[in-house]
Amino acid sequence: MAQGKQKNRAVKDVAGLADRLHSAAIHLLRRVRKQDAATGEGPARLSALSVLVFAGPMTMGRLAATEQVKPPTMSRIVAGLEQKGLAQRVTDSKDARRIQIRATASGVRLLQQGRKKRIEYLASHLGQLTELELETLGEALGLLEGVLRDWPPEG
Amino acid sequence: MAQGKQKNRAVKDVAGLADRLHSAAIHLLRRVRKQDAATGEGPARLSALSVLVFAGPMTMGRLAATEQVKPPTMSRIVAGLEQKGLAQRVTDSKDARRIQIRATASGVRLLQQGRKKRIEYLASHLGQLTELELETLGEALGLLEGVLRDWPPEG
DNA sequence: CCAATTTAGTTAGTATAGCTAACTATATTT
DNA sequence: AAATATAGTTAGCTATACTAACTAAATTGG
């Protein structure tokens, strides 16, 4: 209340924006899901594989934390990836409890093919925007990426 | 190739943007999902309920098409909503095969409460952006909403 | 008017993806 | 050496997606 009208208006704007952002994210992913399905792998596996490919090998726990899921969930996701030959478990030499996960060559290949398909699909629809509009979108994405980076796992 | 360098550069930009957009959407929804869990209902039910509340009652098939899922999936989602007293099935008087689904008062209430929680949560994190940055985000959302609107269900 | 077809939804069975609780195995601390 | 802490897995529950096969109702064609 002490902040006056400008602050109140800002809060309202942020709320509206939050709602629209949530809705847009839901509907966008629904569209793209169908393209990703062509890889034969579900979204959780593709996302985990993507982390392994772009951030390099890491332990089970770190992968779970990065993907914001509980350890048992990541255990299953990795089991699925391993069974399809897309990732490998390697026991850590220093600590026998730790398990390093890494993408196989086949995993890298599948990810890149799926990525290409998805990008072409999404891009074909974003293509209706002008250069200037794409720039605005890129700017907004940069901001959003910053918000997500600073967003602590606990809340 | 006939378009020359400017066009090629644009295509590359769009591809990168598409990839970042996809990733941001995935991670954003992962964060928000945890707030939605407080309602006691999953994302598919909340999304279907949201359609019923904001677009009004509709048939099973139309609801499935709107939510971009197959009829059996929507049958189960509605069964869940009905069991919790959040939606109701009403048989169509003109065509006994058709079933109208509508949100109950309790469904509307639950949706609005969840919506408030989710918005407050997302907004609290978007709050770190400046007024100018929020404006950029709003602009980008407008563009994205346009793209989604023009995106035919089939592809 | 009745048989064939089309349309609307449901049922059954499968897979993925999330969770908690309880477990094993290894390290660390006291 | 015993107690505790940490890393992952296993088991079992729920939700959400799919396809295939079904029921029931409406429409169409002889």
Nearest residue (Cα to C1') for C28? A95
pLDDT tens, position by position, A17-47: 998 898 888 888 888 888 888 899 999 999 9
The pTM of the full predicted model, rounded to 2 decimals, is 0.84
Q: Are strands B58-59 and B99-103 parallel, antiparallel or unpaired?
A: antiparallel
Tell the residue number behind the tokens 């346009």, with chain if given: B146
Strand C–CB A36 distance below 7 A: no
pLDDT at position A1 is 42
pLDDT at position B25 is 87
B57: its two tokens: 């009652």
pLDDT at position B59 is 97
A residues 25-84 lying closer than 8 A (beta carbon) to B: 25-32, 43, 47, 50, 67-68
B residues 85-124 lying closer than 8 A (beta carbon) to A: 115, 118-123
Nearest residue to B103 via CA among B77, B82, B117: B82
Confidence of residue B11 (pLDDT cuts 50, 70, 90): low
Considering CB atoms only, which of B14, B138, B148 is closest to A127?
A: B14
Burial class (CB in 10 A: 0-12, 13-18, 19+), B58: middle
Cβ within 8 Å, pair B151-A25? no
Nearest residue (Cα to C1') for C21? A72
Task: Name which of B147, B149, B151 to mutate to probe chain A: the one with the most chain A Cβ atoms within 10 A of its Cβ.
Answer: B147
pLDDT tens, position by position, B22-44: 888 888 888 888 888 889 999 99
CA torsion sign for B78, B80, B82, B86 is negative
> How close does chain A come to B51, measured CA to CA in Å?
11
Chain C positions with an atom below 7 A of a protein C-beta are: 7-13, 16-22, 25-28
**Angstrom distance, A49 CA to C19 C1':** 22
The answer to whether A35 and A121 are in contact (CB under 8 A) is yes
Confidence of residue A5 (pLDDT cuts 50, 70, 90): very low
Cβ within 8 Å, pair B29-A31? no
